[in-house]
Amino acid sequence: ADKTQQLIRGAAPGYNDGLIRVGMIQTGKESDWRDANTNDYLNTFTKERGYDLIYIDGNSSSERQVKAMYDLIQQKVDYIILQPIVETGWEDAIHAAKEAGIPVIVADRKIAVDETEYVSWIGSDFEEEGRKAVTWLDQYLTEQGRENETIHIVLLEGTEGATAAIGRTNGILHGVEEHPNWTIVDRGCANFTQGEGQTYMENLLSKGTVKDIDVIISENDNMIFGAMKALDRNGKSYGPEGDIIMISFDALHESFENMIAGKLHATVECNPLLASTVETVIEELEAGREVDKIYNTEENIYTYENAADYIDQRKY
């Protein structure tokens, strides 16, 4: 920040230190993706780099997140970064920030409010991620000569009402609809956590209602790691060296290890490193320039066939 900006800033007494005060509302600690995302913010918005970061962990509670927004407004921060758990329930809090003249930058998941209420949204095209997973499955089954077989799919879903879950589910279900021989034999929410992924799969296997599982699609890596534990305990084989086709999302380093070990077929990349784009938006606003409404991240899909080529470059 230049001198003029430093003088304007810090209206609240005691904060006239020239730092840009940024309030950040995080979802919680539900996954390894989330840890990478949190660390990225903590490493970007440092005092050394000119920021005073007020980091708030939402503890997986939407109410807590909304309350945090009002707290930050009261503290008169310069910017609010919002990473919402769910899309709904934000109208009043977002509007209050706007009235207070505090720019809100939404990142990762989205909020269901008019787009004039916030500055920008930075994140992934989750529906496209879902489509990538089914496109890969389609190709793989064809390669295996199984394109006309009945394919029984279990879908492990992320948090209800979260953009990442809504988008991925939509992309996946559209793909399933296009294949009359594919059928979802079971689907349910495991909140993006490894523990719930394991419990969900253990319950499913112990109920015994689903006889055939050809594919498990999990809306993040941690839930599939949990599912793997449940499969192990029930003596079910999976991955390229086993029976069940395993697909997940995020592309964590641990998933590359699993793909190399023959336990995971494919993972759709979702980039958690959003802080530098958020910072760019703040810098543009500081300079009085216009910013885009949407910044999408570039993403790939990785498979057990190419995992060894990429594992060394993976940052999270």
Q: Which is closer to ligand GYE, CB of 87 or CB of 283?
A: 87
Q: Which is closer to ligand GYE, CB of 109 or CB of 263?
A: 109
**Residue 120 to residue 146: CA distance in whole angstroms:** 44
Size of the site for ligand GYE (CB under 6 A): 12
The number of residues making up the chain comes to 316
Residue 295's CB is within 10 A of a number of other CB atoms, namely 17
Residue 293's CB is within 10 A of a number of other CB atoms, namely 10
List 40, 52, 78, 108, residue binding ligand GYE (CB under 6 A) = 108
**Residue 220 to residue 32: CA distance in whole angstroms:** 10
Q: How many helices (H) and strands (E) does the chain have?
A: 11, 12
The answer to whether 132 contacts ligand GYE (rule: CB under 6 A) is no
Q: Which is closer to ligand GYE, CB of 117 or CB of 254?
A: 254
Are 272 and 249 in contact, with CB atoms under 8 Å apart? no
The answer to whether 109 contacts ligand GYE (rule: CB under 6 A) is yes
The answer to whether 119 contacts ligand GYE (rule: CB under 6 A) is no
Are 135 and 96 in contact, with CB atoms under 8 Å apart? no
35 burial (CB, 10 Å; 0-12 / 13-18 / 19+) is middle
Task: Name which of residues 219 to 258 contact ligand GYE (CB under 6 A).
Answer: 220, 249-250
Binding mask 157-176 for ligand GYE (x = CB under 6 A): -------x------------
Minimum distance, C-beta of residue 164 to ligand GYE, in the bound complex (Å): 4
Stretch that binds ligand GYE, among 4-12, 29-37, 134-142, 225-233 (CB under 6 A): 29-37
Minimum distance, C-beta of residue 206 to ligand GYE, in the bound complex (Å): 26
Binding mask 34-73 for ligand GYE (x = CB under 6 A): x---------------------------------------
Q: Which is closer to ligand GYE, CB of 250 or CB of 279?
A: 250
Minimum distance, C-beta of residue 224 to ligand GYE, in the bound complex (Å): 11
The answer to whether 269 contacts ligand GYE (rule: CB under 6 A) is no
The answer to whether 131 contacts ligand GYE (rule: CB under 6 A) is no
The sign of the torsion formed by the CA atoms of 134, 135, 136, 142 equals positive
The answer to whether 33 contacts ligand GYE (rule: CB under 6 A) is yes
Minimum distance, C-beta of residue 250 to ligand GYE, in the bound complex (Å): 5
Contact partners, residue 109, CB within 8 Å, separation at least 6:
27, 83, 84, 85, 86, 87, 123, 162, 163, 164
The answer to whether 192 contacts ligand GYE (rule: CB under 6 A) is yes
Stretch that binds ligand GYE, among 8-16, 30-38, 210-218, 278-286 (CB under 6 A): 30-38
Residue type for 209, please? Answer: T
List 9, 19, 30, 213, residue binding ligand GYE (CB under 6 A) = 30
Contact partners, residue 215, CB within 8 Å, separation at least 6:
137, 151, 152, 153, 154, 244, 245, 246, 247
**Residue 285 to residue 176: CA distance in whole angstroms:** 43
The answer to whether 133 contacts ligand GYE (rule: CB under 6 A) is no
Strand locations in the chain (E): 20-26, 51-57, 79-82, 104-107, 120-123, 151-157, 182-189, 215-218, 245-250, 266-269, 294-296, 301-303
List residues near ligand GYE by CB under 6 A.
Answer: 30-31, 33-34, 108-109, 164, 192, 220, 249-250, 270
